[in-house]
Amino acid sequence: MVASTLASLVAGVAARHPDRPAVKLDDRVLDFAGLDDRAARVAGLLAAAGIEPGARVAVMVPNVPEFLVLYHGVLRAGAVVVPMNVMLKRREATFYLADSGAELMLYWHRCAAEATAAAADAGCPAIEVEPEAFDALLGDQGPRGPHPVEPADTAEILYTSGTTGRPKGATLSHGNLLENARISAEEILMLDPESVVLGVLPLFHASGQTLSMNAAISGGACLTMLPRFDPGGALRIIERDRVTHLQGVPTMYIALLNHPEREKFDVSSLRNCVIGAASTPAEVLREFGEAFDCELFEGYGLSEASPLASFNHPGRPSKIGSIGTPLRGVEMKIFDEHDREVPRGETGEIVVRGHNVMKGYWGLPEETAAALRGGWLHTGDMGRVDGDGYFFIVDRKKEMIIRGGYNVYPREVEEVLYEHPGVREAAVVGLPDARLGEEVGAAVVPTPGSEPDPAELVDFVRTRLAAYKYPRHVWFVHELPKGPSGKILKREIALPAV
């Protein structure tokens, strides 16, 4: 049985490879038959809870086997997955639940405090997921077959912060996600049932879902999990499980390369490594490839594109610093500010068209029309294409900070800073960081008569936003540089030595 939607993907692979390991976390191993059975029982649980096809179900679970079970169980029920970062705080999680209209939340037991508070605020029923108790709960449920859905039906609402600071829900179809996963498995990773994929990318994110989870399932490969990345743990798992495929962000590869005991681990099983989310220094690519004796492939994508749009494909020439060429069935061009294609070599906005492009932003028709105008997804990323058709990123979205592979949008952080009575004005900017690529910093103009402490402002934001978002550096200025219209000119802000 060949799946035509994500809802039937696990069942199809389980029919062909029932006894092959699908996912493992240390000593816990779940084969494809077991994954299929548990996903079917989750569908039964949702039906018993009154969840109907098309309903939104939030999943706030880290990189553990339960994520696969819940994600595919929700899809099997014909419902829509709303993945949520386990680091979200109450106010953030409440927005996700309320905006998506989630009718149920499935949350990891260690996130109970923030999750239950958010669920109460949003008026959303919630079920705790603790491995032993949840297994017992599923044992009481009757399994249900995949609910019939079409490729164009919505599978997921994936929230991605925008430059306005308000997260937007990219609505992705079964066809979007399944085709992206298949191409990843067959043409980029080249997976087979003997492959072992190390799951270090967060599964609440599009890259982790497509390149790690769904690509592994599509290829019949095993996904071995690392709930939270650390280089020593990753090296240990690569050796123990004979990992063949790794996907990560530049900071992960730098950490692996610089681990003091790296040479003590047998990493000879590695064949194919994928790197993305931020530009990677050419020297890092060269050194990692030599040290680990494997191929590294850079690519490009965004949540609105499921997420992959282009890649340096295996079997074709790769260009250092390039994001490669478009995936099969995907078109990419460079447009000017009037949405006209520019000559090769010139800089403009990268636009994308194809089976990977989202249906739109959930509940935001004006933003959808702007992002998809003319039938092209306007990425907001500036780039160029050379004479061979290889694309290069020139600049990321102007305001975005990429901290260790996580996207931080300054406006969201600034809005929290402005809630503090001691802050008159604030501008959040990226500071160069040797380990993370960029660190979050904030230049603050204090309210007249107040003397807030930098540590106080750091703590103020830290309690309100996810851990990767709050500023590690806060400094005070008398005024922020502004243009004629009064807009703060972040490029003219004097940065502190850090």
Tell me if 281 sits within 8 A of 323, measured CB to CB.
Answer: no
User: Is residue 375 assigned to a domain?
Assistant: yes
Predicted confidence (pLDDT) per residue in 95-111, tens digit: 999 999 999 999 999 99
The whole-model pTM stands at: 0.87
Is the domain of 202 the same as that of 274?
Answer: yes
Residues 6+ apart with CB under 8 A from 346: 334, 384
Distance CA 82, CA 362 (A): 11
Q: Which comes out higher in pLDDT, residue 331 or 425?
A: 331
Confidence at 321, pLDDT banded by 50, 70, 90:
confident
CA 268 to chain centroid, in Å, comes to 28
Is the domain of 92 the same as that of 206?
Answer: yes
Residue 98, CA distances (Å) to 61, 121, 125, 415, 418 in order: 18, 9, 12, 19, 23
DSSP string for residues in 20-50: SEEEEETTEEEEHHHHHHHHHHHHHHHHHTT
H helices present in 146-305, as ranges: 174-183, 206-207, 215-218, 231-241, 250-257, 282-292
User: Is residue 15 assigned to a domain?
Assistant: yes
Tell me if 142 sits within 8 A of 41, measured CB to CB.
Answer: yes
What are the backbone dihedrals phi and psi of residue 235, each rounded to the nearest 5 degrees, phi first? -65, -40
Distance CA 210, CA 308 (A): 8
User: Is residue 498 assigned to a domain?
Assistant: no
Question: In 3D, which of 353, 399, 348 has the Cα closest to residue 375?
Answer: 353
pLDDT at residue number 397: 61
User: Is residue 388 assigned to a domain?
Assistant: no
Distance CA 65, CA 384 (A): 40
Domain containing 108 — which CATH number? 3.40.50.12780
Tell me if 216 sits within 8 A of 224, measured CB to CB.
Answer: no
Domain containing 459 — which CATH number? 3.30.300.30
Q: Which comes out higher in pLDDT, residue 408 or 357?
A: 357
User: Is residue 141 assigned to a domain?
Assistant: yes
Predicted confidence (pLDDT) per residue in 15-69, tens digit: 999 999 999 999 999 999 999 999 999 999 999 999 999 999 999 999 999 999 9
Confidence at 482, pLDDT banded by 50, 70, 90:
confident
User: Is residue 164 assigned to a domain?
Assistant: yes
Residue with tokens 């290829």: 219
Mean pLDDT of all residues in the chain? Answer: 92
DSSP string for residues in 356-383: TS-SEETT-HHHHHHHTGGGSEEEEEEE
Among the candidates 345, 380, 415, a domain finishes at 380
Is the domain of 60 the same as that of 175?
Answer: yes
Q: What domain range is 470 assigned to?
A: 401-492
How many domains in the chain?
2
Is the domain of 405 the same as that of 338?
Answer: no
Is the domain of 167 the same as that of 125?
Answer: yes
Distance CA 297, CA 331 (A): 20
Is the domain of 373 the same as that of 405?
Answer: no
pLDDT at residue number 462: 96
**Of the candidate ranges 116-130, 270-284, 358-372, the one whose mean pLDDT is the lowest:** 270-284
Residue percentage of the chain with pLDDT more than 90 = 76
